[in-house]
Chains A and B, each alone.
Chain A
Amino acid sequence: MSSLLWLIPALPLFGFLINGTVGKRLPKPLVGAIAIAGPAIGFILAIFAFLQVHEGAGALATYASWISTGPLKVGAGLQVDALSAVMVLNVTGVGSLIHLYSYGYMVDDAGFARFMAYLNLFMTSMLILVMGDSLPLLFVGWEGVGLCSYLLIGFWFDDLANVDAGRKAFIVNRVGDFAFLMGMFALFALAGTLGYSGLEAALGHADTAAVLTAGPFAGFTVGSVLTFAAASLFIGATGKSAQIPLYIWLPDAMAGPTPVSALIHAATMVTAGVYMVGRLDFVFIQAPAVLTAMVLVASATALLSGAIAFSQNDIKKVLAYSTVSQLGFMFAGMATTFWASGLFHVLTHAFFKALLFLGAGAVIHALHHEQDIRKMGGLRKDLPLVFGVFLIGSLALAGVPPFAGFWSKDEILGNVLYTALEGGNPIWFLSFGMLVLTALMTAFYTTRLVVLTFFGEPADPNRHPHTPPWQMMVPLYVLAVLSVVGGFALASPLEHFTEPVWSHLHVNEEMFHHAHQVALATSLVAVVLGIGSAWWLYSSGRARLEAFVDGPGHLIHKLSLNKFYVDEIYEWTVVKPTQFGADLLFWLVDRLLIDRIVVEGSGQLALALGAILRRGQTGALSIGTFAITGGTLAVLGVLLYLGVAHV
């Protein structure tokens, strides 16, 4: 198996190369087949790799040296351990389904081949990200998926709004990448290597109180450097995985075609940051301050984006903010160092959020690219099957037992409460509170979404929704099944399977059990309240809603509708000052100071001198010639003199 690992990322790359070059001239079914074959065969190979890991043997393969100079050795190597195996299965499995769906969704688009090619390139990058055996390779995938995200968000590039959304995604992610690089450099300073096995060997059980005597951190303790590295890496993760302060690109990313939102901006790419934290568990576990910051950031992100999802009217925007919110749950899970709970939510979220996005895509497709939920309504009767699967996804997202999302979300809530009780740190209690509130909000906005889209009367009685083709429906069914069973079927196997790869802290069993019971009860109450209040507010026309929005809910509604003005704040504190500063520098320093005053000033001085020296003839050109000729002659003279004098 090890010798075939390279095929998993390579197969979609072939698809990219074929469809990206000659795809336009191939028949569309062939383009689709080529595109789907890569991830589908990859999925089969991934099952074999998974089984091998299951039997206790990790799959490892180093193919060549990539960058090698001085003390730096970066190989082109792939590794599949329990964590990677789960991620690869998720990426290729959900990826294959979405490729199939994309065929149905995009086949009539003029850029169909280009679209499928980009999707394949994305698969390759994502698989390198989760299979690479070193941080530089992770970074290759990390930036690669960023590029594909950029290209796919701006896929319909005739409209500059789409392009700007893609550009925003890329640039905001670059800010995260900047921090990621710093974290990577700090780890290299400590370990002298960037491969996972070498890093873990050097840092896995480092003496955190030891003081470094050499290198860039001389004088600091190992623990403080690990904290710096972990903090930097987490900031990197807030870019790719859309957390405060860098989440702002993800909602805009909905400008891309809907399968892209499902694949990249829900199921796979945005979980890369969670994967990275799990991959470097041995670093994060030694940086408890960062873990505390992580849970705070994660739960605040969950709460903020949950609150924004309240009032969004674009079906995809609701789901996008929901994704940001759910990613917060994943990071909260990672912060507890019960790593498996974060990964568990990555999986269940991949199932139900991909399902919801694809379901939304089916609705959008049926309604000829209508995305405003206020203009939908009553679709329950027109698209009963879509309604069915969308409802399953919604129940899973809202956290209703026994659907998938319930299990993983509950697991995380319990772990956060346990950590709070264990350490007695008020920040953890606060985070738990915010997460419970988010659970309530999640149930609320999910219910609102379902009610407005599928219940009530059609906003436009004359519409003619067309039923999605089978290529779109089959993935929906599969994901619906996974959203039902994915929770209880995976909960305990996943934990056992990933046991070997992760560092653990000692657990107080009794307190753990207790915390989980309290969390379960609390979250169930939250879910019931959320669903109930949304149903009460939205199920019977607009009267109650308007009374609420005009009355007690005025402020929160306004803030939520305007996304708490975060984009505007960034615009005025970061974007505009940078542009203004750059303009100012250009005119004041470059033009005025350097060019006008220093350079041309000295030129004019020379000119004036020249005029005195050589009356009658002026002009820049002659001065230039004069300076050159004269200078050269003078130098030659000195040279000759020296040469003669010393011979």
Chain B
Amino acid sequence: MSELPLLSLLIWIPALTALVLAAVPGFTEQFVKVGALAASLVVFALSLVLLFSFHAPATGLAFVEDHAWIEFFHVRYALGIDGIALSMIVLTALIQPMAIVASWNAIHDRASGFFIALLVLEAGMMGVFVASDLFLFYTFWEVMLIPMALLIGIWGGPRRVYASIKFVLYTMAGSLLMFIAILYGYWAVKTATGTGSFDIATWAQVLPTHVSPYAQMWLFAAFGLSFAIKVPLFPFHTWLPDAHVEAPTAGSVILAGVLLKMGTYGFLRFAIPFFPAGAVALTPLILALAAIGIVYGSLMSMTQTDIKKLIAYSSVAHLGFVMLGLFSGTLIAAQGAVMQMVNHGISTGALFLLVGVIYERTHTRGTKDFGGLARVMPVYATLFLIVTLSSIGLPGTNGFVGEFLILLGTFQRYPIAAFVGAIGVVLGAVYMLTLYRNVFYGPGRPSQKNLKDVTPVELMVLVPLVVLIFVLGLQPNLMLSLTEAPVAKVVQVLVPGEDLNVTAGALPPSAAPAEEHAAEAPAATEGGEAPATPAAEGAATDGAPPQEVTP
């Protein structure tokens, strides 16, 4: 493993760049932009180094760094990642330079500040994903809030102040509850072990057994509310459409691409492992909200006339899928959920980038303000179509794998929730294809006859996302293998003692033709046509509980 403190670099390169760019007077805006882009590209390169040199250790985390920080209450500067965190890091590092490039000519007012805020935001996001000390995590969690609020509040649209405050208050409400729960957890760990600790692994080891199930429920709820707001889980979502509509393109891209995943990541990394009894107790509620959220978010998308708002509500639906998978208690669905976190970052990030492209040209965003763009901007139309297909989960794209795994897995345990969630598959096609119809098809508008197709720079930003859509759609194992072990650990917490590699209700392969059931079939089964005798290892059903046969 590398000698360099790679994880620290992920945080401190953007942070220190931001500090230098902010502190040294006299830099031109151009210099700030280039500096921000350079820093984000270095971080991206580092994330790739991490990706390719990552070997999951048998236990614990990879790329561990651990230093004392605030010793008198056992806070450590401790970093380390697993496969889940790694995929989030790569996603963040990829989205960041895209957000910067997309803002290059879009921000005129106090541009330096804008790019500095983006860098601080990246440092915060990276910190959240790499921290293995809860206090450190919480610090970054709060750090993130400020630049995002500024991005919306200063560089946003006409109702930016309202949206920004809504965003901050929503988030703060959750964060405060989480903070109280953290204090309680610290105290509980200290009581149980004799020494205080904010080490995440220690908490996951101690809390489940030393905190009463009742207390776990409240603690889970406190953590969970904070994360549910971030996700956002229905009905805590109303900050999101406002934030997206008012945020500049870069803000929307990062918000959709990374920030929303903080919520689901929080459930995976903290809420479920710390308080499994609470998670199990509240699973029905969360599944219900997730399934409702899928349908509700989709229906809301259908009614929107602002493209950004439409996509924002579609995020509510997509993140509903993620929550469904995370709490399904099956490895298949949870793996799909983690994959869908990345997928949503790619496809929704790309959608906001794409909307930014036409917004910059026309300064309008209404679904009814466009028409016939497929003739005027064919390359743009093609890219938009591919991203749309990813968003509605067409096979071949990444979106399909995520949704399919989530629904298939969830069905194995909660068929009703999967049934309701799958309605979103239908509704998703309704609102996205309607959007596509309105913007790209039809006779076209005279005022839009001369719109320029995507520029090379825009293409540079969009093409990697489109490539990823297909790479993950055709070779999802690249990602699934990365996250399988850590995801299995979390799922196991929800269903202790169950073999995750087995489909619970599956029949063993039938060795011989069964006896005829005259009542079941219109005529007797002809015995001679039995399929090839299946080998015992033929199906992945070893160890399935034997079925009860009624006479």
**Which residues of A come within 8 Å of B, CB atoms?**
65-73, 136, 139-140, 143-144, 147, 150, 154, 157-160, 163-164, 167, 170-171, 174-175, 177-178, 181-182, 184-186, 188-193, 197-198, 200-218, 221-223, 282, 285-286, 288, 291, 419, 422-423, 502-506, 578-579, 581-583, 585-586, 589-590, 594-595, 599, 603, 620-621, 624, 627-628, 631-632, 635, 638-639, 642-644, 646-647
Let me know if A582 and B302 touch, CB within 8 A.
yes
User: A67 contacts which of B477, B500, B510 (Cβ < 8 Å)?
Assistant: B477
Q: Tell me whether B372 is interfacial, beta carbon within 8 Å.
A: yes
- CB nearest to B425 among chain A residues: A178
Total interface residues on B, using CB and 8 Å?
Answer: 112
Let me know if A620 and B510 touch, CB within 8 A.
no
Let me know if A215 and B506 touch, CB within 8 A.
yes
Let me know if B510 and A204 touch, CB within 8 A.
yes
A-B contact pairs, 20 of them (CB 8 A): A67-B480, A72-B332, A154-B441, A158-B443, A170-B433, A177-B426, A182-B411, A185-B412, A189-B412, A191-B503, A191-B507, A193-B541, A203-B507, A209-B549, A213-B505, A620-B162, A620-B165, A621-B161, A627-B172, A631-B172
In the complex, what's the smallest C-beta–C-beta distance from B511 to chain A, in angstroms? 9
Let me know if B405 and A67 touch, CB within 8 A.
yes
Known contacts A285-B521, A286-B521, A628-B168: A579-B302 contact under CB 8 Å: yes
Known contacts A139-B395, A178-B423, A201-B509: A599-B547 contact under CB 8 Å: no
With A160-B443, A286-B521 given, can you name 13 additional A-B contacts, CB distance below 8 Å? A70-B484, A143-B400, A188-B408, A189-B503, A192-B502, A198-B538, A200-B531, A202-B541, A216-B412, A217-B505, A218-B505, A579-B302, A594-B235
Q: Tell me whether B5 is interfacial, beta carbon within 8 Å.
A: no
Chain B contacts for A288, CB-based, 8 A:
520-522
In the complex, what's the smallest C-beta–C-beta distance from A324 to chain B, in angstroms? 22
Let me know if A505 and B433 touch, CB within 8 A.
no
Chain B contacts for A599, CB-based, 8 A:
166, 170, 238-239
Chain A contacts for B395, CB-based, 8 A:
136, 139-140, 143-144
Choose, from B10-18, B182-190, B210-218, B356-364, the stretch at the interface: B182-190
Let me know if A157 and B442 touch, CB within 8 A.
yes
Report how far A164 CA is from B433 CA in the complex, Å. Answer: 10
Chain A contacts for B544, CB-based, 8 A:
192, 214
- CB nearest to B551 among chain A residues: A209
User: B506 contacts which of A154, A191, A621 (Cβ < 8 Å)?
Assistant: A191
Chain B contacts for A150, CB-based, 8 A:
433
- CB nearest to B507 among chain A residues: A202
Chain A contacts for B414, CB-based, 8 A:
216
Q: Tell me whether B179 is interfacial, beta carbon within 8 Å.
A: yes
Report how far A191 CA is from B540 CA in the complex, Å. Answer: 9
Report how far A167 CA is from B442 CA in the complex, Å. Answer: 13
Let me know if B539 and A185 touch, CB within 8 A.
no
Let me know if B300 and A582 touch, CB within 8 A.
yes
Q: Tell me whether B434 is interfacial, beta carbon within 8 Å.
A: yes
Let me know if B526 and A506 touch, CB within 8 A.
yes
Chain B contacts for A578, CB-based, 8 A:
299, 302
Report how far A639 CA is from B539 CA in the complex, Å. Answer: 55
Interface string of B283-309 (1 = CB under 8 A from A): 000000000000010011011000000
Chain A contacts for B396, CB-based, 8 A:
140, 144
Report how far A139 CA is from B412 CA in the complex, Å. Answer: 19
Report how far A585 CA is from B299 CA in the complex, Å. Answer: 8
List B residues 492-525 near A (Cβ within 8 Å): 500-510, 512-515, 517, 520-525
Let me know if B238 and A642 touch, CB within 8 A.
no
Q: Tell me whether B108 is interfacial, beta carbon within 8 Å.
A: no
In the complex, what's the smallest C-beta–C-beta distance from B449 to chain A, in angstroms? 13
Let me know if A211 and B506 touch, CB within 8 A.
no
In the complex, what's the smallest C-beta–C-beta distance from B443 to chain A, in angstroms? 6
Report how far A643 CA is from B168 CA in the complex, Å. Answer: 28
Let me know if A635 and B176 touch, CB within 8 A.
yes
Chain A contacts for B394, CB-based, 8 A:
143-144, 147
Ranked nearest first, the 3 interchain pairs of A and B with the lowest CB-CB distance are A215-B505, A192-B506, A201-B534
Interface string of B176-198 (1 = CB under 8 A from A): 10010001001100100000100
Q: Tell me whether B419 is interfacial, beta carbon within 8 Å.
A: yes
- CB nearest to B411 among chain A residues: A185
Let me know if B442 and A71 touch, CB within 8 A.
no
- CB nearest to A639 among chain B residues: B183
Q: Tell me whether B157 is interfacial, beta carbon within 8 Å.
A: no
Chain B contacts for A177, CB-based, 8 A:
425-426
Q: Tell me whether B415 is interfacial, beta carbon within 8 Å.
A: yes
Report how far A219 CA is from B42 CA in the complex, Å. Answer: 57
Classify the interface of chain A: helix, strand, loop or mixed. Answer: helix
Report how far A461 CA is from B302 CA in the complex, Å. Answer: 50
Let me know if B534 and A167 touch, CB within 8 A.
no
User: B501 contacts which of A70, A205, A582 (Cβ < 8 Å)?
Assistant: A70
Let me know if B477 and A621 touch, CB within 8 A.
no
- CB nearest to B142 among chain A residues: A632
Let me know if B540 and A193 touch, CB within 8 A.
yes
Let me know if B165 and A171 touch, CB within 8 A.
no
Let me know if B503 and A192 touch, CB within 8 A.
yes
- CB nearest to A599 among chain B residues: B238
In the complex, what's the smallest C-beta–C-beta distance from A431 to chain B, in angstroms? 14
Q: Tell me whether B208 is interfacial, beta carbon within 8 Å.
A: no
In the complex, what's the smallest C-beta–C-beta distance from A574 to chain B, in angstroms? 11
User: A208 contacts which of B238, B375, B504, B517 (Cβ < 8 Å)?
Assistant: B517
- CB nearest to B512 among chain A residues: A205
Chain A contacts for B545, CB-based, 8 A:
213-214
Report how far A493 CA is from B502 CA in the complex, Å. Answer: 43
In the complex, what's the smallest C-beta–C-beta distance from A533 to chain B, in angstroms? 36
In the complex, what's the smallest C-beta–C-beta distance from A132 to chain B, in angstroms? 11
- CB nearest to A142 among chain B residues: B395
Known contacts A69-B332, A642-B183: A582-B520 contact under CB 8 Å: no
Chain B contacts for A502, CB-based, 8 A:
529
Report how far A158 CA is from B441 CA in the complex, Å. Answer: 6
Let me know if B506 and A585 touch, CB within 8 A.
no
In the complex, what's the smallest C-beta–C-beta distance from A99 to chain B, in angstroms? 22
Let me know if A213 and B332 touch, CB within 8 A.
no
* Centre residue among B302, B425, B503 by max chain A CB count within 10 A: B503
Let me know if B506 and A505 touch, CB within 8 A.
no
Report how far A232 CA is from B66 CA in the complex, Å. Answer: 54
Report how far A647 CA is from B443 CA in the complex, Å. Answer: 74
In the complex, what's the smallest C-beta–C-beta distance from B330 to chain A, in angstroms? 7
- CB nearest to A179 among chain B residues: B422
Known contacts A157-B442, A181-B407: A198-B517 contact under CB 8 Å: no
Let me know if A595 and B238 touch, CB within 8 A.
yes
Report how far A164 CA is from B434 CA in the complex, Å. Answer: 9
* Centre residue among B190, B389, B444, B522 by max chain A CB count within 10 A: B522
Let me know if A216 and B413 touch, CB within 8 A.
yes
Chain A contacts for B442, CB-based, 8 A:
157-160, 163
Known contacts A175-B426, A207-B514: A222-B332 contact under CB 8 Å: no
In the complex, what's the smallest C-beta–C-beta distance from A363 to chain B, in angstroms? 28
Let me know if B418 and A185 touch, CB within 8 A.
yes
- CB nearest to A579 among chain B residues: B302
List B residues 378-417 near A (Cβ within 8 Å): 389, 394-396, 400-401, 404-405, 407-409, 411-415
User: B412 contacts which of A68, A210, A215, A639 (Cβ < 8 Å)?
Assistant: A215
In the complex, what's the smallest C-beta–C-beta distance from A228 to chain B, in angstroms? 10
Chain B contacts for A160, CB-based, 8 A:
437, 441-443
Let me know if A624 and B168 touch, CB within 8 A.
yes
Let me know if B549 and A207 touch, CB within 8 A.
yes
Interface string of B458-493 (1 = CB under 8 A from A): 000000000000000011110011001000100000
Let me know if B520 and A178 touch, CB within 8 A.
no
In the complex, what's the smallest C-beta–C-beta distance from A331 to chain B, in angstroms? 17
Report how far A426 CA is from B152 CA in the complex, Å. Answer: 68
Known contacts A218-B505, A621-B161: A164-B437 contact under CB 8 Å: yes
User: B524 contacts which of A505, A624, A639 (Cβ < 8 Å)?
Assistant: A505
Q: Tell me whether B109 is interfacial, beta carbon within 8 Å.
A: no
User: B505 contacts which of A193, A214, A627, A646 (Cβ < 8 Å)?
Assistant: A214
Chain A contacts for B372, CB-based, 8 A:
158
Known contacts A147-B394, A214-B544: A70-B441 contact under CB 8 Å: no
